[in-house]
Amino acid sequence: MKFAICQELFENWDWDKQCKVIADIGYTGIEAAPFALTDDVTTVSDDLLKQCRQQAEDYGLQIIGLHWLLAKTEGYHLTTENADVRKATADYLVQLGSMCSKLGGDLMVLGSPFQRNLEEGVTRDVAYRNAAEVLKAAMPRLADQGVRICMEPLTTKETDFVNTCADAMELINLVGEPNLVLHQDVKAMVGAETKSLPEIIHEFAPQVGHFHVNDTNLLGPGMGETDYLPIFKALLETGYDGWISVEVFDYSPGSEKIARESFDFMQDILKQLSN
């Protein structure tokens, strides 16, 4: 298994220090939030992206891709009835794809709950149609950059659009582009799915392009009540060969503590499964 971590956990750390600590712990991948690297994706310089990539690679890290794609932005929305906003959103996703590719990544996780919530009066069917239009406009251009979008289901506490893996597959099939794939997130699946996580992992294994690990307490794997043994067992059984990426939302125990305990816990789970 390949292990990465979402780097916004290391808020206010300079990039080089983040890379050093992440690599020292044992991760080989780093998943970046655009807002953690630049205030404006549309004007970020190639030199900065080259520098960030080189610093990561100097520590043996690959920047695997981006997430929080639309966070801390204005004027972008996935399901809106505003055609100009939909076009702008598609174009922005393509700009993010360029950034991702220049950093050495090939995946972008589309979560961003606030920028996909249904606006007043928009029905579910219309929301899916609008989102599909945005993605259909972006995906071929992203394919040219070698970048996939991994569609992330989120719980109803976070958004009213795409809550389950089945919901995500409905949108993915509507778009019909091979570089639009399914993303699975442990916290989200625990909160939204009616089947067990091993069942969900097995059911959607052929479509999964990326996997986030965390817990319902917003901390890392092993820091809450979620039983990870059957989760990792299912991933091994299905032959998942993508990245396992730690994404947390509560930074209070400390960035390095969370990153280290999460990594050590996952290594322990793998040892248990190998016995």
Parse the chain into domains and list their residue ranges: 2-274
Burial pattern 85-102, b for ≥16 Cβ within 10 A else e, equals: bbebbbbbbbbbbbbbbb
Confidence tier at 11 by pLDDT (50, 70, 90)? confident
User: What sign does the CA torsion over 42, 99, 18, 107 have?
Assistant: positive
Q: What is the pLDDT of residue 275?
A: 84
User: Which band of pLDDT confidence, cut at 50, 70 and 90, is reported for residue 263?
Assistant: very high
Band of residue 74 on the pLDDT scale cut at 50, 70, 90:
very high
Mean per-residue pLDDT, 56-72 = 98
Alpha carbon separation from 250 to 164, 220, 263 (Å, rounded): 23, 9, 16
What pLDDT, in 10s, does the model give residues 144-159? 999 999 999 999 999 9
State residue 216 phi and psi, 5-degree precision: -65, -15
Rounded to the nearest 10 degrees, what angle do helices 124-144 and 83-103 cross at?
A: 40
pLDDT of 163: 99
Mean pLDDT for the stretch of residues 178-202: 98
| Calpha distance 108→120 (Å, rounded) | 28
Distance CA 46, CA 152 (A): 28
pLDDT reading at 59 higher than 90: yes
The answer, yes or no, to whether residue 52 has pLDDT greater than 90, is: yes
Which band of pLDDT confidence, cut at 50, 70 and 90, is reported for residue 43?
A: very high
pLDDT by residue (tens digit) across 86-121? 999 999 999 999 999 999 999 999 999 999 999 999
CATH classification of 2-274, choosing from 3.10.20.310, 3.20.20.150, 1.10.760.10, 3.30.565.10?
Answer: 3.20.20.150
Contacts of 46 (CB under 8 A, 6+ apart): 102
**Ordered alpha helix ranges (H), 29-184:** 34-37, 46-58, 83-103, 124-144, 165-175
Residue 224's H or E segment, with its range, is: none
pLDDT given at position 203? 99
pTM score, whole prediction: 0.97
- SS3 at position 76: coil
Task: Provide the mean pLDDT of the chain.
Answer: 98
Q: How far apart are CA 268 and CA 272, in angstroms?
A: 6
Question: pLDDT tens-digit profile of 211-225?
Answer: 999 999 999 999 999
Gap between the Cα atoms of 79 and 116, Å rounded: 5
